[in-house]
Amino acid sequence: MSLLSIETLSLAIHGTPILKGISLEIAEGEITALTGESGSGKSMTAFATMGLLPKGVTTTGAITFDGENLLSLPEPQMCDLRGREIGMVFQEPMTALNPVQTIGAQVMETILIHKAMAPDRAEKRAREVLGRVGLPPDRFPLSRYPHELSGGQRQRVIIAMAIALRPRLLIADEPTTALDVTTQAQILDLLKRLVKEDGMALMMITHDLAVVSDMAHTLNVMRQGEIVEAGPTSEVLREMRHPYTRQLFEASRHQADLGAARAAAPLLSVRNVSRDYPLPRTSLFGARPMFQAVKNVSFDIKRGERVGLVGESGCGKSTLTRAILGLEPTQGGQITLDGDPVWQDGHANLTVRRKMQVVFQDPYGSFNPRHRVARLITEPFHLLPDPPKGAARDTAIAKALSAVGLKPEDADRHIHAFSGGQRQRIAIARALIIKPDLIVFDEAVSALDVRVRAQILDLMADLSRAYGLTYLFISHDLSVVRSITDRVMVMRAGEIVEDRATAEIYAAPDHPYTRELMNAAPQLPDFPEAQDAPHPAL
């Protein structure tokens, strides 16, 4: 008999249906994955199981855990169950811990709130369990605060809190989405080990098929509140009976058609560039220690080339990007675009600035919500000495919007009327409107669902082919970079450790760090059907 069984669970928020009669079973010692795009209802399924649904939610159906229907269990008994029998791990480790309490206090709280042991034994258990998740007490004493730990370490603390009382079911909601690939691999290994050692059931929620493809026993593919396909993972991935599963699968390994590589004169030239940051003072009067975020980096990007810059958080790629965009001065070396320096006489060189544009990661935060699209996408016009006005301006707006697959009429709408993918199109239109030579994409597709991401990657490739645009594509995601670049640079600790053609680097990575990154990145299994997909020449 299974530990958790969800039967025809339906859920509505203020009358809007979110889940439409889903059913699934999880047995002890088994990993069950729920996958699907944002809004498919996978997190709601988790919160329904935890009894932590927001106000205004109505449910029908049943969630049976160990013979009891959780949906009809009174709140005090739910409280008793949470943390003791069912643990949960969340997506955002940076904010999921209380910043003003020590990690020891927070791990011990799980034990003490259930009065499972006396305080002194609880403290001992907290040390044990932190050690089990890879935070040995000699290096990570209980008195540490969350802000003294990295994202991966914080996620380990959250896992320690969730498993402190050895729950029978662990729910992990996108536990590695916010983490770097190497950290992600470690956390996934840890979860697998805990399931194996404790015989715990794990409900794993993720939008990333590759993450669960080699760890989940069963796979449930969700779309719009329904489970469209379910079964043993290898079977689901091999047969892909539902077209949506196939779409998800293909979108995750989507390869944009870049056209032939074009080698021409260098456009961007970065020569021996260094960037230093002052660290907090260690003594009151001594010189401030410096942190070198970018160390003597040199490379060229040729006109029309699509170059990727890959590295984990903290490797210096964002710092380097800001220097290239002329947003900050460098402490050594020079960056030139078309022969002109991007930074001159203590400020950004405007004649160069208008030749480059940037598209950022967050499609929600990077627009002023009070302005209309027309005003948003014409913002770069302030860089021009003589910006187009009147009819010329309207034509430019219409052309830019058409180029990214939107309608000229969209110019009069506000940004809230658009979805995440459409917003990213508008961000690209904003970059295109002054006809730049170089566009920098800073994690520009990281926040998008796989199918939308595939569409945006196609759009980028189309635009590059049509206008001969040069791209610098910055990402932590190796598979995305592979699909949209001619050449990849791998950055680590402020240095570029490998810089080669995309096809070569993915076929045979040279540097040990590149290999480490590639091995850590979750891979989708290869199936004969999938290899029939068009594979353009790079």
Partner 1 sequence: MLGYIVKRLISLAISLIVASVVIFVVVEIAPGDPASFMLGINAQPDTVAALRTELGLDQSKFDRYLSWVGGMLTGDFGTSYTYRTPVAQMIVDRMWVSLPLALFALTLSTLIAFPAGIFAAARRGGPGDLAVTGATQLGVAIPNFWFAMMLVLIFAIQLRWFSAGGFPGWEKGFWGGMKALTLPAIALALPQAAILTRVMRSSLLDILGEDFMRTARAKGLSARQALWRHGLRNALIPVLTIIGLQFAFLLAGAIIIEQVFFLPGLGRLIFQAITQRDLIVVESVVMLLVFAVIMVNFLVDLAYAAVDPRLRTRV
Residue 73: CB minimum distance to partner 1, A:
13
The reply on whether position 126 binds partner 1 by CB under 8 A is no
122 with 107: CB under 8 angstroms?
Answer: no
The reply on whether position 7 binds partner 1 by CB under 8 A is no
Residue 103: CB minimum distance to partner 1, A:
11
Q: How far apart are CA 494 and CA 2, in angstroms?
A: 50
Q: Residue 522 CB: number of other CB atoms within 10 A?
A: 19
Q: Residue 470 in 3-state DSSP?
A: strand
Considering only 36, 41, 83, 522, the residue that binds partner 1 (CB under 8 A) is 83
Largest CA distance in the chain: 77
| ∠ CA 343-346-349, rounded to 5° | 35
Contacts for 239 with CB less than 8 Å, ≥ 6 apart: none
The reply on whether position 97 binds partner 1 by CB under 8 A is yes
The reply on whether position 68 binds partner 1 by CB under 8 A is no
Task: Characterise 346 by phi-psi region: left (phi > 0), alpha (psi -120 to 50), beta (else).
Answer: left
The reply on whether position 1 binds partner 1 by CB under 8 A is no
By beta-carbon proximity to partner 1, the closer residue of 105 and 261 is 105
By beta-carbon proximity to partner 1, the closer residue of 116 and 521 is 116
**β-pairing verdict for 16-26 and 4-13:** antiparallel
Locate 242 and state its tokens: 């539902």
Please give the size of the binding site for partner 1, defined by CB under 8 A.
34
By beta-carbon proximity to partner 1, the closer residue of 96 and 210 is 96
The reply on whether position 113 binds partner 1 by CB under 8 A is yes
Considering only 9, 22, 31, 161, the residue that binds partner 1 (CB under 8 A) is 161
Q: How far apart are CA 364 and CA 386, in angstroms?
A: 30
The reply on whether position 48 binds partner 1 by CB under 8 A is no
Interacting span for partner 1 (CB under 8 A) from 195-203, 228-236, 276-284, 315-323: 276-284
The reply on whether position 109 binds partner 1 by CB under 8 A is yes
295 with 472: CB under 8 angstroms?
Answer: no
The reply on whether position 50 binds partner 1 by CB under 8 A is yes
Considering only 18, 158, 185, 447, the residue that binds partner 1 (CB under 8 A) is 158
The reply on whether position 145 binds partner 1 by CB under 8 A is yes
- What number of CA atoms fall less than 13 Å from residue 238's CA on the CB side? 7
The reply on whether position 76 binds partner 1 by CB under 8 A is yes
By beta-carbon proximity to partner 1, the closer residue of 279 and 350 is 279
Considering only 82, 156, 253, 317, the residue that binds partner 1 (CB under 8 A) is 82
Q: How far apart are CA 484 and CA 308, in angstroms?
A: 8
The reply on whether position 52 binds partner 1 by CB under 8 A is yes
Q: How far apart are CA 458 and CA 303, in angstroms?
A: 20
Considering only 11, 24, 35, 90, the residue that binds partner 1 (CB under 8 A) is 90
The closest alpha carbon to 440, from 383, 359, 499, belongs to 359
By beta-carbon proximity to partner 1, the closer residue of 67 and 280 is 280
Interacting span for partner 1 (CB under 8 A) from 79-87, 177-185, 263-271, 433-441: 79-87
Query: Which single residue is written with the structure tokens 């649904």?
Result: 53
By beta-carbon proximity to partner 1, the closer residue of 80 and 462 is 80
Q: Is 494 exposed, middle or buried (0-12, 13-18, 19+ CB in 10 A)?
A: buried
Give the H or E element holding residue 348. Answer: strand 347-348
The reply on whether position 286 binds partner 1 by CB under 8 A is no
Contacts for 46 with CB less than 8 Å, ≥ 6 apart: 34, 88, 171, 173, 203, 205
By beta-carbon proximity to partner 1, the closer residue of 82 and 487 is 82
Considering only 7, 28, 66, 92, the residue that binds partner 1 (CB under 8 A) is 92
The reply on whether position 183 binds partner 1 by CB under 8 A is no
**β-pairing verdict for 340-341 and 332-337:** antiparallel
Give the residues lining the site for partner 1 (CB under 8 A). 50, 52, 75-76, 79-84, 87-88, 90, 92, 95-101, 109-110, 113-114, 145, 147-148, 158, 161-162, 280-281, 284
